Structure 1
Amino acid sequence: MAKEEGLAIGIDLGTTYSCVAVWQEQHCRVEIIHNDQGNNTTPSSVAFTDHERLIGDAAKNQAATDPENTIFDAKRLIGRKYSEHNVQKDKMLWPFKVVAGANDKPMIVVKYKGQEKQLCAEEVSSMILVKLRDIAEAFLEKPRKPTMDAGAIAGLNVIRIINEPAAAAIAYGLDKRSLDIDQQTKVDIDTINSLSSISRKNILRVYFTQDREIKRKNKVDISGNPRALRRLRTACERAKRTLSSAVTTKVDVDAIFQGIDFNSSISRVRFEEINMELFEECIETVEKCLTDAKMDKSSVHDVVLVGGSSRIPKVQQLLQAFFNGKDLCKSINPDEAVAYGAAVKAALLSKCFKNVPDLVLLDVTPLSLGVSVKGDLMSVVVPRNTSIPRKMKQEFRTSVDNQSLARIMVYEGERTRASDNNLLGSFVLSGFPPAPRGHPLYVSFSIDENGILSVSAEEKTTVNKNEITIINDNKDRLSAKEIERMIQEAKFYEAEDREFLKKANTKYDLDDCVYRSRNVLKKVCIRSIVRPKEKEDLRSAINRATDLLDEENEQYDIAVFEACLKELESSLERFESW
């Protein structure tokens, strides 16, 4: 989102198509801005030739003739590592070349003006942003002034980043502003994340079906020809869109390979059959969303459809059936809803607009956030589904005597064992004076409106402080699919994690009892005569407990630690009573 005096611009930087909208104070409404081709959406494509760089429709139009130098889907590579399974899988389907760069960063290879050039996904996305900015400038007939470093690469004044579901819900809320918005519960079928993935996958499933037909009918294999593959993919995408309104459509590509014309057809029934698994995943996503929100589907007032694939009749049918026949809201073009809502939010944040309805939508943390403590335990500071922005602080204590530094390891996840969760980063707090075990340190988690996480640790007596910042597109952050996998794993291993927590707490209690016993023994021995038997009993119990704690003792059952703790506490009690 970006702002200008009297104007607020919203941009939906999509994986396949992008869109830009403007809130104009003088008209008190949002307007979707058409591009130079008269289209309300612009392909998120960039192409390179021997003479120029093409962006948007021009890039997509030449994709069939030069697929190796036409980049699309670049957004899927942002924040990813080249070695990731999904990147390797996607790489096999793209006509352009992707290689490993520094720090395992995926780099896209193109030929531009006769020279090979490597681009990261962020560079490609910035080119698309520049194009969208130019579209807005041409429509508004004045250039915009960049004022924030965050938007410098695209020349934008970025005032807030919001997620796509929130933007879409704002768009719908404005469209229905006569309703009491605060009293309405809406489900934005994002499916934006899940449907955009479904959109791509169902095109590919049609694509592979047709590819097999080419092999069967014509006995040729086009898999090694990027131009033929790109033309077939485009035809399949067009077929998928047509089937949203027609019951059957043709897939025709003239001279697709070696002079062969490819002519086929696909029905909506067949399309639904080969993609039913994906459609069912969409419904599962909605169901999990309601479960996480601890609400029943009967309490949902409106179901908002967003994203091109929400036009698929079978998706609409399944959603309507899931919500017991409730009518689905289709009042806003699903391709434009995100940009529409982003423009409204930009206007709200600009403060200077008087006629913008104030719609409040809260984002939440998808996973719990915390730090690792002794015993590889995950100590949660920010619970899952906490609304943001939010700042939370927790006190921790040193685990050994004379400790003068502490490593803070930041994790996200739902497992009890810290190492089973996702490590986001770590830093060291040092320079505080040596002190007995149990010296307090304070760790703060702060998440801003853009989802940027800052974790700081402070020691009060010296005011020593250190921190780390983790942004949403950090390569170590998890994708939506990985988040869901971790949530399901936490449920599957719930009993195992309970046992681990119980055992870890017993070990901590045993370690604490050893510490107290040694201090008591030391103090009493200094100031008075001690009966040898009680002294020896306590010392032996301390040694047995220490040996047990020092061993690689994962094979020992919790009962072993409980028995050792009981023995040590009994010896300590006898010693203190004497």
Structure 2
Amino acid sequence: MSLNKMAASIGIYFGGTTSCVAIHKDGKTEVVANDAGDRTTPTAVAFTDNEKIVGLSAKQGRMRNPVNTVMQVKHIVGRKFEDQVIQDLKRQSPFKVVESKGLAGFEIEANNKKNIVSSLEVAGLVFRKLKEIAEHQGGKDMKNTVLTCPVDFSDGQRAAVRKAAEAAGFKILRLISDPSAAVLAYEIGVTKPHDPCNVLVYRLGGSSVSVSVINVTNGLQRIIASKTSRECAGDDFTKALADSCAIEFKRQSRMDMTDNKRAKGKLYNACESGKHVLSTINSATISVDSLYEGMDFHSNVTRAKFESVINTPLQRCLQVIGTTLEENGMTAADIQKVIVIGGSTRIPKLQNVLKGRFPESELLSSISPDEVVAIGAAVQAALLSSREDNIACSPSDLQTPCTAKSIFIKVVNEDGTSLLHPIVPKHSYIPLRQQHYFTVPKDQDSLSLQLVEGEPASSPDETTKLGKIILRDLASEEPQEGKVTLDVHLKRDGTVEITCSESVSGSMDSLVISPSAKNSEDKTTKE
């Protein structure tokens, strides 16, 4: 049996703004179009009195039904309600984000009733839509799937996304990171497996921007740097263009429409379409009938004007690249290839800036930035499916699992200030075993160590408490300085086992943190 004659395998990119499905069948990988003929599907879910709508229709109807149209569920599912990202979305979104069993959910109004819908249920509706799209081309027997997620997703977020996909009927073989899937799509490390290569993957989505650097050697991928920022994104380009058009409308009509939400929404949608057009041709017409007070709006926008309008947010989005390289002691000379992900990376000016910043690197953009992640995931699904039939896999299947975030212990100084001491750095290989040593003063009779996960240096508000270890009765008849040993074991399934012992008193305590517990403080178990 050969790979060319295997059953179809599925790759899914579950995005914050759009999602994409690709199928690997008969040796070919193709993106599947939805029922509207589009190769990507808006990650939007709308609730009405009679039905639940997913995709383009939900997105198009959000002006009429903003409170019941949920967007950005990718960034919400699996997060605790008090998470800073959730609180930011709660303030910014027209739909109502509420607490649902400790996690973030949504308040939906239908049939004159208010109901709480979990983020897991909303994500499940998106995956059911993606399942319908996949089955349209590959048939109902096709299940083997690889799903992608951001590098910085916590274990709790990964588990939630996987659960939602499996509930929709997908058989998830593996979750891989978005940049790893992009590297697979371009077959980096396959054609020249013995040549080490550093690949910078630049993702510019609608609500965030991220940079990852992946080292590929002998087909083995290792993420050596990554950073995500939600302070700038592709939607900022649309907003900048909409603001410019609003000023032009005021000049034409002598009326200010910026306080009218409906008018702003209509103009935003028109500018979003115009942005896509300007990524491929030199001019676009922004046209809205009866924009405000019965007045129409029509404007021809050239690419040069568009690039001028978006220059400020564009530079902010590109700053993440320099910050990522600098924080990891790298320069442009260390990068051999650059891959772009996300629809906004089609903008010619952005690609020209990238070419200027990495003059010696190869810019890879031949595969659609909206589709490249799903294509790579489908390739990975086919490789994993081949294992079930005892067929040798390509070296590109050899990916090294790494930790998405760092794990720290909280240490309190004599002056009462607290510091975070890293015990498992971000991107550490899994599985992992480590020992850490420190001393306890002679007169101290107890020790409490709090464990947290996150990246406090770059995102101080996004750390998660994992649990606490307490050593008691440390004082002895002859006081002496004791040595504390901290054993850390990180297993392949994401479980963290930590044992702490003190040499003089023999006091010991241990903690087991399951992957799901990393997203909920009350699920840690003491042994």
The TM-score normalised by the length of structure 1 is 0.68
Match in the other structure for 1:183: 196
In the alignment, what sits opposite 1:540? none
1:75 and 2:119 correspond: no
Aligned partners of 1:427 and 1:467 also within 8 Å:
no
**2:513 pairs with 1:468:** yes
Matches within 5 A, 1:487-566: none
CA distances 1:19-46 after superposition (whole Å, capped 9, x unpaired): 012233xx23323222222322111111
Give the match for residue 44 of structure 2: 45
**Native 8 Å contact 2:469 2:500 kept in 1:** no
| Greater alpha carbon shift after TM alignment, 465-474 vs 133-142 | 465-474
Q: Amino acid of the residue matched to residue 196 of structure 2?
A: Q
Contact 1:203/1:237, CA 8 A, preserved across alignment: yes
**Deviation of 1:201 (Å):** 1.1
Shift of 1:131: 1.1
The structure with the largest alpha-carbon Rg is: 1
1:169 equivalent in alignment to 2:183: yes
Count of paired positions: 463
Q: Would the alpha carbon gap of residues 76 and 145 (structure 1) be closer, same or farther in structure 2, given more than 3 Å must change?
A: closer
Contact 2:190 2:395 in 1 (8 A): no
* Residues 188 and 305, structure 1, Cα contact 8 Å, conserved in 2: yes
**Does the alignment pair 1:194 with 2:194?**
no
Q: Of the candidates 451, 455, 458, which is equivalent to residue 409 of structure 1?
A: 451
Give the match for residue 563 of structure 1: none
**Mapped partners of 1:139, 1:80: distance in 2:** 34
Could you tell me how far apart the structure 2 residues matched to 1:385 and 1:169 are?
17
2:321 to 283, 286, 296: 286
Q: 1:306 to 1:145 in 2, by over 3 A?
A: closer
Q: CA RMSD in A?
A: 3.9
Considering Cα pairs closer than 8 Å and 6+ residues apart, tell me whether 1 or 2 has the greater RCO: 2
Distance in 1 separating the partners of 2:75 and 2:519: 13
CA distance in 2 between counterparts of 1:220 and 1:127 reads 41
SS at match of 1:58: helix
Structure 1 residue 438 and structure 2 residue 482: aligned?
A: yes
Q: Distance in 1 between matches of 2:181 and 2:109?
A: 37
State the one-letter code of the partner of 1:457. Answer: T
Unaligned runs of 5+ residues in structure 1 are: 477-578
Alignment of 1:71-470 (within 5 A): 71-78=70-77, 94=93, 96-101=94-99, 107-143=105-141, 150=163, 151-173=165-187, 177-180=190-193, 182-191=195-204, 193-194=208-209, 197-223=232-258, 225-324=260-359, 326-350=361-385, 351-352=387-388, 354=391, 356-359=393-396, 360-362=398-400, 368-375=406-413, 376-388=418-430, 390-396=432-438, 398-399=440-441, 403=445, 406-410=448-452, 412-413=454-455, 422=463, 424-429=465-470, 438=482, 440-444=484-488, 446=490, 448=492, 452=494, 454=496, 456-459=498-501, 464-469=509-514
Once the two structures are TM-superposed, the CA of residue 129 in structure 1 deviates from its matched residue by: 1.4
Query: 2:450, 2:142 → 1: CA distance?
Result: 43
- How does the TM-score come out when normalised to structure 2? 0.74
What is the identity, as a one-letter code, of the residue corresponding to 1:21? A
Please give the per-residue CA displacement for 1:145-200, whole angstroms capped at 9, x wherever unaligned.
799983444333333322211211121126x8433365333222234551795211
Determine helix, strand or coil for the equivalent of 2:310.
helix
Contact 1:32/1:336 (<8 A) preserved: yes
Q: Is the 8 A contact 1:444 1:456 kept in 2?
A: yes
SS for the counterpart of 2:234 is helix
Residue 359 of structure 2 aligns to a residue whose secondary structure is: coil
CA contact (8 A) 2:10 2:143 kept: no
Inter-partner Cα distance in structure 2 for 1:13 and 1:36:
18
Cα distance between partner residues in 1 of 2:195 and 2:87: 45
Alpha-carbon shift at residue 69 of structure 1 (Å): 3.1
Whole-Å separation in 2 of the counterparts to 1:217 and 1:475: 54
Question: Aligned pair in 2 of structure 1 residues 265, 98: CA closer, same or farther (>3 Å)?
Answer: farther
Whole-Å separation in 2 of the counterparts to 1:342 and 1:181: 23
What is the aligned partner in structure 1 of residue 152 from structure 2?
none
Which string of whole-angstrom CA distances, capped at 9 and with x for unpartnered residues, describes residues 225-283 of structure 1? 54433322211110111111222211111122332212223222222222222322343
State the 1:67 CA deviation. Answer: 3.9
1:356-383 deviation per Cα after TM superposition (whole angstroms, max 9, x unaligned): 5221455755765321235244332123
Partner of 1:16: 17
Question: What is the rounded CA distance, in whole Å, between the counterparts of 1:167 and 1:110 in structure 2?
Answer: 35
In the alignment, the residues of structure 2 paired with residue 200 and residue 142 of structure 1 have an alpha-carbon distance, to the nearest angstrom, of 36
SS in 1 for 2:174: coil
Tell me which residue corresponds to 1:560. none
1:413–1:82 distance in 2 versus 1, CA, 3 Å: closer
Using the alignment, how far apart are the partners of 1:348 and 1:432 within structure 2?
A: 55
SS at structure 2 position matched to 1:34:
coil
**Aligned counterparts of 1:72 and 1:453: Cα–Cα separation in 2:** 31
Preserved contact between residue 445 and residue 472 of structure 2 (Cα < 8 Å):
no
Q: Flag the structure with higher strand content.
A: 2
Give, in angstroms, the shift of residue 430 of structure 1: 5.8
Q: Deviations over 1:407-430 (max 9, x none)?
A: 433354576xxx999453332346
Q: Quick one: which amino acid aligns to residue 209 of structure 2?
A: S
On the 8 A contact 2:7/2:142 being kept in 1, the answer is: no
Do the aligned partners of 1:173 and 1:181 also contact (CA within 8 Å) in 2?
A: no
